[in-house]
Amino acid sequence: MKRKFLITGDGSITIHLPEWNEQYHSKHGALAEARHVFISSGLHFLRNNNVDAPVRILEIGFGTGLNAFLTLLDSQLQGYEVEYTGVEAYPVSEEEIEKLNYAELASGSQDVFKRMHELPWEIPAELLPGFQLLKQKKFFSEINNTDTYHLVYFDAFGPRVQPELWTEEIFGKMFRAMKEGGVLVTYSAKGSVRRAMQAVGFEVERLPGPPGKREMLRAVKPS
């Protein structure tokens, strides 16, 4: 599938898929979206509820590594440990990674961002002290963990282009993979997505969305 690069509203770059008219991040701001949806509404919300360390995170759609990188920066700044698992069926290429400017805009290390993508798949590795990364190359339907994660970043391509990723079956897998009290956040606020989450047992709330979106969803697995 043909891929292009798009400068988003906050100056950060994302990958655009013309065939689907879809991109990896919001055209209104890749960095702004990631910070709002996954860091502020997910990670910070979870940590404010005194989750045990290390924080175990599952990302659905590792993609460009932006969410993992921002999580790494936050954990280093705030001094907490993270065990991060990123699932991706179609990894972004080395050549594409070199064109992304997240490290520069987020005041992070380009060397660390590059190393994140150079780490081997399927092997847990310490990217920096206190931050363990495991990248898994597989389909989301192959996730079968139970009672493992405190937090899920659900960052798959949107339900318009890949509706099969936003079903009760997939959210059921997320529910089982999470610990009680665990949090799932996503940029989508589609009614069918909210209903699928509720059907498998999540308590779901609508929140103000990132730039360019009115709302997003946050789901909690009841204790």
Q: Is the residue at 16 inside a domain?
A: no
Q: Is the residue at 105 inside a domain?
A: yes
Q: Is the residue at 7 inside a domain?
A: no
Place of tokens 């008219």: 21
153 pLDDT more than 80: yes
Q: Is the residue at 8 inside a domain?
A: no
For the question of whether the overall pTM of this predicted structure is more than 0.85, the answer is yes
Mean pLDDT to the nearest integer, 119-126: 97
Contacts of 78 (CB under 8 A, 6+ apart): 47
Q: Is the residue at 63 inside a domain?
A: yes
Give per-residue pLDDT as tens, 158-178.
999 999 999 999 999 999 999
Mean pLDDT to the nearest integer, 72-84: 97
Task: Return the number of other C-beta atoms located less than 10 Å from residue 170's C-beta.
Answer: 19
Could you tell me the CATH number of the domain that includes residue 190?
3.40.50.150
Name the nearest CA neighbour of 123 among 131, 139, 138, 135: 135
Mean pLDDT to the nearest integer, 180-190: 97
Q: Is the residue at 22 inside a domain?
A: no
Please calculate the CA angle 129-134-61 and round it to the nearest 5 degrees.
120
Number of domains in the chain: 1
CA distances, 68 to each of 39, 45, 88, 159, 189 (Å): 10, 17, 13, 22, 22
53 pLDDT more than 90: no
Range of the domain at 118: 29-220
- At residue 49 the predicted structure's pLDDT band, cuts being 50, 70 and 90, is confident
Q: Is the residue at 143 inside a domain?
A: yes
